Amino acid sequence: MASTNDIKNGTVIKENGQLWSVVEFQHVKPGKGGAFVRTKQKNVVSGKIIDKTYNAGAKIETANVDRRDYQYLYQDGADFVFMDQSDYDQLTVSGAVVGDAAKFMLENLQVQIALHEGEPLYLELPASVVLEVTYTEPGLQGDRSTGGTKPATVETGAEIQVPLFLETGTKVKVDTRTGDYLGRVND
């Protein structure tokens, strides 16, 4: 058991059988009454965000979450197979845990997987990845100066918005959190 004094960003709290990660916290000492800790927490599994307040010094149950580096190997049906970078053990993660991250994962991509008691909770991709555009409509002459965008399909099958001048075969940098185009990559 820990107390509210141990709360910091990234702390995982176990409450009512669910795991909540602290996104932000603030220790408050009002002029009247006792001090308290105001937190914003994110459900590790569902991603739901809640605000929760604890009295100062209250006991909380923290969960031990182990974040480890893995390499994405391949997709096996609805599951994804990763290899631990330290001991080369393979870990199979369900498609439900991987979620939208699958849209930006190529084989051999380095990711971080958070584990609790051996169970994968979620995975974190690098902030950006380089992907090749496999299909996009050709741009028209004169489209280069306008700020418009068009849909493009990248090699993982995800569809992103790119500037009008980009062509099929171009490598682009994509933000893995939002799916936004960040720029062209020259080989």
| Confidence class for position 146, pLDDT limits 50, 70, 90 | low
Which pLDDT does position 132 carry in this prediction? 93
Which pLDDT does position 92 carry in this prediction? 93
More confident of the two residues 39 and 140: 39
Q: What integer is the mean pLDDT of 35-63? A: 89
CA distances from 106 to 12, 31, 54, 165 (A): 29, 54, 42, 25
Q: Of the residues 38, 60, 82, which one is the last residue of a structural domain?
A: 60
Number of structural domains (the chain) is 3
Which pLDDT does position 141 carry in this prediction? 58
User: Can you tell me the distance from the alpha carbon of 10 to that of 39, in angstroms, rounded to the nearest whole number?
Assistant: 11
- The residue range of the domain holding 99 is 66-124
* Torsion angle, alpha carbons of 116, 121, 124, 125, to 10: 130
CATH code at position 165 = 2.40.50.140
Mean pLDDT of the chain: 88
Based on the domain organization, do 109 and 81 belong to the same domain?
yes
Q: How many residues does the chain have?
A: 187
* 119-124 β-sheet, strand order: 90-94, 79-84, 66-76, 110-116, 119-124
Based on the domain organization, do 54 and 103 belong to the same domain?
no
CA distances from 50 to 10, 39, 68 (A): 15, 8, 26
Q: Of the residues 60, 75, 96, which one is the last residue of a structural domain?
A: 60
Which pLDDT does position 144 carry in this prediction? 58
Q: Of the residues 60, 81, 102, which one is the last residue of a structural domain?
A: 60
> In percent, how much of the chain has pLDDT > 90?
44
Based on the domain organization, do 76 and 51 belong to the same domain?
no
For 63-86, what is each residue's pLDDT tens digit?
888 889 999 999 999 999 999 988
In sign, the C-alpha dihedral spanning 156, 157, 161, 162 is positive
CB 86 within 8 Å of CB 70:
no
CATH code at position 22 = 2.30.30.30
For residue 111, pLDDT beyond 90: yes
For residue 110, pLDDT beyond 80: yes
| Confidence class for position 145, pLDDT limits 50, 70, 90 | low
Burial of 121 (0-12, 13-18, 19+ CB in 10 A): buried
Based on the domain organization, do 92 and 116 belong to the same domain?
yes
Based on the domain organization, do 119 and 80 belong to the same domain?
yes
